[in-house]
Structure 1
Amino acid sequence: MIEWRNLYRGLIMGSSDVVPGVSGGTMAVLLGIYERFIEALNGILSKEWKKHIGFLLPLAIGIVIAMVSLAEVINWAFENYPNQTLFLFLGLIAGVIPFLAHKSNYKETFKGTHYFLLILAAILVGSMALFGDGPAETEPITSFSTDTYIKLFFSGWLASSAMILPGISGSFLLLLVGMYSTFTHALGNFIFEALIPLGLGIVLGLLIMSKILRYLFDRYYYQTYALVIGLVVGSLAVVYPGLESDMMLNVLSAITFIIGLLAAYGLGRLEY
């Protein structure tokens, strides 16, 4: 049975995956489907593949629609209201944390080791903010060779491995390796020579990382949740754009942040 409710969830995940610094995995946590998402990716090659296809297909359709249709919208928002756009996502990410804390039952389950893992993960992800001035302005690749296809494949693998981890943005990693402009250009213009190797890398990366995460959840459930919370907390430092000199723009940023928080709260109440 196809779970068409996942279509809107995919739209939310896909729109966040386009934004450097924001993780689709974080949105999956907010939507209450993170563990189910990992389970479905693991089960896609099992005997119960039909059940998992029913979960993943509408999710994938929503993600693709959002990434293709919203790529230009988000580019426009970043060009015209960069801080306000990031504060909106900052509010969404901050709103995830209470639900993660509740899910992990941290007051009863967390001990010193769990807090150490949480802080370590937060520091590791937060340190990515130091690379915020990476090669964002590289020109998109428009001519293709064997070397280019290999680079695109491994870029897709790297990005998808990050996409599935809450707090780590696949788009941000593409930005760091100088492939983000190629990614958005290929999406916006349907350049299949770039999209096919990228897509193959993304699929393989998702399958491999999902198996690693399934193993961790099965063996070290609360330790893994401590890591996930740390990844999300650390991503706040990556997404935070700072304040502007114009007070009215800062007020607008505060409003979009509150909208993000309220949206996270509403989605959380809907899904949990």
Structure 2
Amino acid sequence: MDTSNETKWGRQMIEWRNLYRGLIMGASDVVPGVSGGTMAVLLGIYERFIDALNGIFTREWKRHLAFLIPLGVGIVAAMVSLAKVINWAFENYPNQILFLFLGLIAGVIPFLANKSNYKETFSGIHYVILIIAAALVGSMALFGEGPAETPVITTYNMETYIKLFLSGWLASSAMILPGISGSFLLLLIGMYSTFTHALENFVFEPLIPLGLGIVFGLLIMSKVLNYLFNKFYYQTYALVIGLVIGSIFVVYPGYESDLMLNIMSLICLIIGLLVAYGLGKIEY
């Protein structure tokens, strides 16, 4: 074995800046209503992310793992280390956190529009797809905070393992789609408390089936999206843009009665827009 070539491969191919990208994606995935897929779009890695997930079991698996490993480490690190901080901020300053992410999400749209070259590539069918996607995601705002959370699962048997696995599968299938929040779906099905409790307290028994479900969901949904990008590239971009636009209605929390809190929300919105603009300049 040529160890020098292996060392060269590791040094050149592993994208260490995916660590910070993963931190951003992981932090957003913890917040109900915010999609990690949207953050991947913002960071300019969405198509590569889909491609890498599809390429794990191909001959080029090393190249794809070199992309995914630091990204995965960043996502997990953010979920574990920032879960308490984000949950605290979300409980005490929910509007401000949501306005911050609202700015990030709104800031994605111009970059998506430019990348799709919509002025030249979009026709009537593309705008129909965009509007339908936006309406479908936006309608999730009608659910509000969803049904009351069920108690945290603390006893485990085969039934709960299957439920945890399917919950992880559902959440990750949504997580990979821009505009659709995996955490929000967990909230709707009453599993969000169990998910965050397991992360905060390192309870591995529920994390293992949840994690397996998440991995399985990512692999399956990535194949669907990869097919769509290969066969219907600009239609898929219209779909993605619609999903992102629709998520604005889901994330938008409304205004508060306290003027100072509203000012803070406005500042957070501006910060989000500026960060999105800055990241767009760096990543594109």
Tell me which residue corresponds to 1:9.
21
Tell me which residue corresponds to 1:111.
123
Flag the structure with larger Rg.
Answer: 2
Query: C-alpha separation between the residues in 1 aligned to 2:185 and 2:104?
Result: 20
Tell me which residue corresponds to 2:144.
132
Q: Give the fraction of aligned pairs with identical amino acids, expressed as a percent.
A: 81
- Contact 2:180 / 2:247 at 8 angstroms: preserved in 1? yes
* Superposed displacement of residue 144, structure 1: 0.7
Q: Partner amino acid for 1:238?
A: V
Query: C-alpha separation between the residues in 2 aligned to 1:137 and 1:92?
Result: 28
DSSP 3-state at the match of 1:269: helix
Q: CA RMSD in A?
A: 0.7
Tell me which residue corresponds to 1:77.
89
- Contact 2:149 / 2:191 at 8 angstroms: preserved in 1? no
Q: Partner amino acid for 2:110?
A: P
Deviations 1:85-120 (A, max 9, x none): 100000000000000000000000001000000000
Q: Partner amino acid for 2:23?
A: L
| Number of residue pairs aligned between Structure 1 and Structure 2 | 272
Confirm whether residue 90 of structure 1 aligns to residue 102 of structure 2: yes
Q: Partner amino acid for 2:43?
A: L
Which residue, out of 72, 89, 114, partners 1:102?
114
Query: C-alpha separation between the residues in 1 aligned to 2:216 and 2:145?
Result: 29
* Superposed displacement of residue 132, structure 1: 1.6
Deviates more, 1:111-120 or 1:125-134: 125-134
* Superposed displacement of residue 134, structure 1: 1.1
Deviations 1:50-74 (A, max 9, x none): 1100000000000000000111001
Query: C-alpha separation between the residues in 2 aligned to 1:98 and 1:162?
Result: 23
Deviations 1:118-167 (A, max 9, x none): 00000000000011231353221111111000000000000000010000
Q: Partner amino acid for 1:80?
A: N
Query: C-alpha separation between the residues in 1 aligned to 2:205 and 2:163?
Result: 12
Tell me which residue corresponds to 1:35.
47
* Equivalent residues in 2 for 1:112-261, closer than 5 Å: 112-261=124-273
DSSP 3-state at the match of 1:124: helix
Tell me which residue corresponds to 1:45.
57
Query: C-alpha separation between the residues in 2 aligned to 1:225 and 1:249?
Result: 36
- Contact 2:36 / 2:175 at 8 angstroms: preserved in 1? yes
Tell me which residue corresponds to 2:9.
none
Query: C-alpha separation between the residues in 2 aligned to 1:137 and 1:250?
Result: 28
Query: C-alpha separation between the residues in 1 aligned to 2:151 and 2:260?
Result: 34
Q: Partner amino acid for 2:194?
A: T
* Superposed displacement of residue 205, structure 1: 0.3
Query: C-alpha separation between the residues in 2 aligned to 1:106 and 1:152?
Result: 40
**TM-score normalised per structure 1:** 0.99
* Superposed displacement of residue 5, structure 1: 1.1
Tell me which residue corresponds to 2:4.
none
Q: Partner amino acid for 1:133?
A: E
Tell me which residue corresponds to 2:66.
54
Which residue, out of 23, 33, 37, partners 1:21?
33
Q: Which runs of 5+ in 2 are unaligned?
A: 1-12
Deviates more, 1:49-58 or 1:129-138: 129-138
Query: C-alpha separation between the residues in 2 aligned to 1:152 and 1:135?
Result: 18
Deviates more, 1:101-110 or 1:132-141: 132-141
Confirm whether residue 265 of structure 1 aligns to residue 274 of structure 2: no
Following TM superposition, the consecutive aligned residue runs of length 4 or more in structure 1 with deviations greater than 2 angstroms are: 135-138
